[in-house]
């Protein structure tokens, strides 16, 4: 080996290694899934790159992953003939965590959270999970298409630094050798490894192979010395999961596949698998994650589906196929309608992309509607992604009504900060004669709940939605009606309770207004230009006065958002 240098891991890697080794001990078998997943990604990438340049296969186009072990030496080896890495790639990929926002996320974790395996899993533990079972890892790799002298060896004990050196390497692709810790030697075992491959990696399209040693026998049935031959046996199913018929796929297989595509450690909440033939031809497998990624609200956060064209992997994070308000959906789209050499630029112009997008949007919304039948699961979804879904009515007019049906609110019916009431629930409880859906927007739940604007509604037993999310006013400005009932902000304009009020009450109100004309004039004079108008109101039953906005005026919350945005 030449040109050897020792480099330090990026700080975040050190932190991640430390957290992982401590919190994932009881899940340590997942290292194999992670390394196989990387090998499969590497094969996908080579197949894609070779579309333009067959020579990259270097005469070896049967992509595969091999898993080997040596019980005596205590090693497990995971090898692929995929794309491989250059020296720069190795330093970048196996020395840092490339995804943005990770550092901040790690800093925010409390001591308790650091012990939570599922939280750590949010990064996709990836390559570094090898160090849960190994006290040293050696990686040998060469980028497909590069000269044999361009091989790279990476070595590390996972303790803060790693070494890279140039080596000669005949084969392209990557080989990862795990030197197992004393207490993890159980993994250097044929049976154990085989069952882990079946458990976690059946759905990987690339064959995962293990060696089978056969010895020729003599006439008496004894082994003939020196006659061992090794054949490589495929141990996984090795068909892309989404291609198989739904009826043959178990829930566990769907879940395992989710972990591979979403780089998530946790189970998904639900999924929807569809094969479409006709004008459009595609297969989609969409998932709703159970947890929010840490970059959900970041402009350049990862989103979109994994795109395949006729089974060939094209790109990760193809964001053109789902609207922004469904950016939490993960999954795979495989289509015959695009050409193999699509690029992100072409995706932006192709009208077929829009058609698939609107079809996938419907699928995703239907999947959520189905999920909503399970109250507990839906509440988990809503608490995690509800405020993202609230961006929907503004972004997607065509599906406004559908999205509205998926929204959940706090209301005076429960007087709880938990948003768990649907608009259908509200409508089913509407008073006789009530024509509108009433809501109030405030900065926080308590401010909404104790607003004087609600007094008359509480007295009459009319339910009001208590909106207290930052985005709620924005949401309501894009929702006109639900099931034909208009939305009314109780803090704006004239208050019309429709037929819920009877004639007598109206008459009494008019009389009061007349009797108090003098008082109104005096208050108006005292407040001068600070208000537009002073009126007698029947909104209040206990409080003496409140501020009301004109009907078409921007609300307080919106004003603050606009001001914050520098408008
Ligand atoms: P992720 O797979 O989520 O990107 P990992 O930690 O698993 O994160 O891997 C980090 C990066 O290292 C990968 O994105 C890839 O670029 C590179 N890498 C890891 N394993 C391989 C491999 N077998 N062949 C080629 N590149 C690899
Ligand atoms: Mg990975």
Annotated binding residue 392: no
Q: How far is the CA of 93 from the centre of ligand 1 (A)?
A: 6
Q: How far is the CA of 230 from the centre of ligand 2 (A)?
A: 29
pLDDT for residue 554 = 65
Annotated binding residue 34: yes
Q: Would you say residue 173 has pLDDT above 70? A: yes
Q: Would you say residue 340 has pLDDT above 70? A: yes
Distance CA 310, CA 6 (A): 43
Query: Ligand 1: which residues within 6 Å by Cβ?
Result: 34, 38-39, 41-42, 80, 82-85, 93, 124, 126-127, 174, 263
Q: Would you say residue 567 has pLDDT above 60? A: no
Range with top average pLDDT, 84-93, 101-110, 448-457: 84-93
Average pLDDT over residues 72-89: 98
Beta 208-214 vs 65-70: how paired, if at all? parallel
pLDDT for residue 75 = 98
Ligand nearest to the CA of 144: 1
Distance CA 106, CA 119 (A): 10
pLDDT for residue 232 = 94
- Three-state DSSP class for 389? helix
- Going by CA atoms, what residue is nearest to atom 8 of ligand 1? 126
Beta strands in 132-203 (DSSP E): 134-142, 151-156, 161-167, 173-180
Q: How far is the CA of 178 from the centre of ligand 1 (A)?
A: 16
Average pLDDT over residues 430-452: 93
Contact 446, 469 (CB under 8 A): no
Considering the chain, what percentage of its residues have pLDDT values greater than 90? Answer: 60
pLDDT for residue 223 = 86
For 185-189, 313-317, 515-519, which range has the lowest pLDDT when averaged over its residues? Answer: 515-519
Q: Would you say residue 508 has pLDDT above 80? A: no
Distance CA 95, CA 39 (A): 18
Distance CA 43, CA 211 (A): 20
Give the distance, in angstroms, between the CA of residue 494 and the centroid of all CA atoms in the same chain: 43
Tell me: the pLDDT tens digits for 198-215?
Answer: 888 888 889 999 999 888
Which of ligand 1's atoms lies nearest the C-alpha of 82? 24
Q: Band of the pLDDT at 330, cuts 50, 70, 90?
A: very high
Beta 437-441 vs 330-335: how paired, if at all? unpaired
Ligand nearest to the CA of 37: 2
Distance CA 400, CA 395 (A): 9
Question: Alpha helix (H) ranges present in 77-116?
Answer: 87-93, 102-108, 111-114
For 294-298, 399-403, 457-461, 549-553, which range has the lowest pLDDT when averaged over its residues? Answer: 549-553
Tell me: the pLDDT tens digits for 257-279?
Answer: 999 898 888 899 999 999 999 88
What pTM does this model have? 0.79
pLDDT for residue 121 = 59
State the residue for tokens 């189970």: 267
Q: How far is the CA of 39 from the centre of ligand 1 (A)?
A: 8
Annotated binding residue 344: yes
The residue length of the chain stands at 567
Q: Would you say residue 103 has pLDDT above 70? A: no
Residue in 12, 41, 122 to alter for ligand 1 test, most ligand atoms within 8 A of Cβ = 41
- Going by CA atoms, what residue is nearest to atom 14 of ligand 1? 93
Ligand nearest to the CA of 128: 1
Ramachandran region, residue 274 (left: φ > 0; alpha: ψ -120 to 50; beta: rest): beta
Question: Alpha helix (H) ranges present in 129-244?
Answer: 130-133, 190-201
pLDDT for residue 312 = 85
- Going by CA atoms, what residue is nearest to atom 18 of ligand 1? 38
Annotated binding residue 125: yes
pLDDT for residue 135 = 96
Q: What is the residue-wise DSSP string for 405-467?
A: HH--BEETTTT-SS--B-HHHHHHTPPTT--SEEEEE-SSHHHHHT-GGGHHHHHHT--EEEE
State the residue for tokens 């004079």: 525
Q: Band of the pLDDT at 17, cuts 50, 70, 90?
A: confident
For 319-323, 335-339, 405-409, 539-543, which range has the lowest pLDDT when averaged over its residues? Answer: 539-543
Q: How far is the CA of 109 from the centre of ligand 1 (A)?
A: 25
Q: How far is the CA of 329 from the centre of ligand 2 (A)?
A: 19
Contact 490, 441 (CB under 8 A): no
Q: Which residue has the higher pLDDT, 409 or 559?
A: 409
Average pLDDT over residues 533-558: 69
Q: Band of the pLDDT at 94, cuts 50, 70, 90?
A: very high
Considering the chain, what percentage of its residues have pLDDT values greater than 70? Answer: 89
Tell me: the pLDDT tens digits for 467-477?
Answer: 999 899 999 99
Residue in 36, 127, 178 to alter for ligand 1 test, most ligand atoms within 8 A of Cβ = 127
Which of ligand 1's atoms lies nearest the C-alpha of 89? 16
Ramachandran region, residue 380 (left: φ > 0; alpha: ψ -120 to 50; beta: rest): alpha
pLDDT for residue 215 = 84
Look over the chain and give the mean of its residue pLDDT values, rounded to a whole number.
89
Six token digits for residue 273: 């698998």
Which of ligand 1's atoms lies nearest the C-alpha of 45? 25
Annotated binding residue 528: no
Average pLDDT over residues 482-509: 78
């Amino acid at each position: 080996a030449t040109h050897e240098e020792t480099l330090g891991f990026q700080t975040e890697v050190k932190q991640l290694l430390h957290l992982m080794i401590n919190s994932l001990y009881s899940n340590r078998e997942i290292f194999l899934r992670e390394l196989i997943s990387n090998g499969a990604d590497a094969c996908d990438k080579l197949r894609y790159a070779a579309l333009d340049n067959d020579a990259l296969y270097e005469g070896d186009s049967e992509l595969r992953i091999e898993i080997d072990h040596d019980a005596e030496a205590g090693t497990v080896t995971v090898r692929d003939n995929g794309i491989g890495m250059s020296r720069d790639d190795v330093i970048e990929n196996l020395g840092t965590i490339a995804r943005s926002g990770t550092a901040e996320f790690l800093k925010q974790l409390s001591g308790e959270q650091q012990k939570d395996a599922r939280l750590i899993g949010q990064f996709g533990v990836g390559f570094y999970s090898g160090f849960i079972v190994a006290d040293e890892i050696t990686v040998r790799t060469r980028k497909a298409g590069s000269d044999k002298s361009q091989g790279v060896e990476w070595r590390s004990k996972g303790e803060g630094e790693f070494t890279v050196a140039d080596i000669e390497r005949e084969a392209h692709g990557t080989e990862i050798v795990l030197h197992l810790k004393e207490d993890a030697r159980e993994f250097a075992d044929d049976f154990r490894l085989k069952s882990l491959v079946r458990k976690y990696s059946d759905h990987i399209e690339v064959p995962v192979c293990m060696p089978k040693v056969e010895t020729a026998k003599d006439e008496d049935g004894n082994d003939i010395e020196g006659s061992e031959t090794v054949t490589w046996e495929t141990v996984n199913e090795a068909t892309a999961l989404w291609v198989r018929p739904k009826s043959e796929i178990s829930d566990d297989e769907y879940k395992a596949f989710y972990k591979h595509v979403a780089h998530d450690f946790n189970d998904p909440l639900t999924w929807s698998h569809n094969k479409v033939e006709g004008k459009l031809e595609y297969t989609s497998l969409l998932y709703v994650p159970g947890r929010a990624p840490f970059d959900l609200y970041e402009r350049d956060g990862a989103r979109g589906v994994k795109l395949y064209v006729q089974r060939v992997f094209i790109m990760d994070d193809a964001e053109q196929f789902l609207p922004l308000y469904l950016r939490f959906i993960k999954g795979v789209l495989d289509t015959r309608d695009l050409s193999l050499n699509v690029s992100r630029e072409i995706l932006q112009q192709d009208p077929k992309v829009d058609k698939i997008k609107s079809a996938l949007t419907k699928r995703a919304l239907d999947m959520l509607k189905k999920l909503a039948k399970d109250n507990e699961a839906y509440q988990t979804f809503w608490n995690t992604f509800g405020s993202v879904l609230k961006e929907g009515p503004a972004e997607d007019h065509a599906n406004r009504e559908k999205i509205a049906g998926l929204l959940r609110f706090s209301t005076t019916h429960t007087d709880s900060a938990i948003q768990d009431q649907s608009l259908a629930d509200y409508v089913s409880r509407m008073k006789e004669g009530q024509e509108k859906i009433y809501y109030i927007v405030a900065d926080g739940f308590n401010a909404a709940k104790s607003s004087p604007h609600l007094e008359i509604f509480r007295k009459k037993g009319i339910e009001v939605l208590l909106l207290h999310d930052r985005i709620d006013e924005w949401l309501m400005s894009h929702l006109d009606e639900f099931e034909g009932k208009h939305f009314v902000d109780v803090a704006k304009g004239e208050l019309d309770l429709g037929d819920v009020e009877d004639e007598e009450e109206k008459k009494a109100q008019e009389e009061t207004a007349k009797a108090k004309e003098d008082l109104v004039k005096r208050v108006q004079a005292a407040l001068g230009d600070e208000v537009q108008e002073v009126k007698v109101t029947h909104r209040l039953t206990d409080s003496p006065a409140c501020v009301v906005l004109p009907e078409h005026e921007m609300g307080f919350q919106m004003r603050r958002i606009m001001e914050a945005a520098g408008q």
